[in-house]
Amino acid sequence: MRDTIAGALNTAIKSQDKRRVSTLRLIMAAIKDRDIVNRGIGKDPVSGDEISVILAKMIKQREESAKMYEEGNRLELAEQEREEIEIIRDFMPKQFCESDIRNACTQVIGEIGAGGLRDMGKCMNALKEKYAGQMDFSKASGIVKEILQ
């Protein structure tokens, strides 16, 4: 995934797409920051799953920023944030739809043998480990809670 992003950055530089270049550089910087943190604690460089988590976090940050810009009547800045979201999404794995999330939740609950709400944390940890960057975990949390009740 790292090579894909680097290749996209080179292409964007050649085509002089300033928004894409700046967004891809932000992605590369976030990955490099995580690599540095991992090196400091003796872990390996960032894997593809971890990059997906980083990208999901970046998307969430931009969605929050866009919302705040809209509330502040700064529509041009909100639009910039949304453009960056679309660029970042190009590198994310396909996101699960509601039915896929429900199926994954049901499967994990069965694998763990969860019997009630006290097992919700175990279920969410298993989902995050297994499906990093592929689903909206706030939706998954609601579904797990619904199933366990």
User: How many domains, in total, are found in the chain?
Assistant: 2
Residues 6 and 37 in one domain: yes
Residues 120 and 80 in one domain: no
Mean pLDDT, rounded, of the chain: 89
Residues 47 and 111 in one domain: no
| CATH number of the CATH domain containing 127 | 1.10.10.410
Sign of CA dihedral 83, 84, 88, 94: negative
Over 80: is that where the pLDDT of 93 sits? no
Overall pTM > 0.75? no
Please report which helix (H) or strand (E) contains residue 142, including its range: helix 137-148
Residues 80 and 139 in one domain: no
What is the DSSP secondary structure assignment for residue 116, as one 8-state letter? S
Residues 9 and 73 in one domain: yes
pLDDT per position as a tens digit, 12-70: 999 999 999 999 999 999 999 999 998 888 888 888 778 888 888 899 899 999 999 99
Question: What range defines the domain where residue 41 resides?
Answer: 2-89
- Residue 1: pLDDT band (50, 70, 90) is confident
| CATH number of the CATH domain containing 75 | 1.10.1510.10
- For residue 87, give Cα distances in angstroms to 27, 54, 94, 133: 10, 14, 14, 15
Residues 73 and 136 in one domain: no
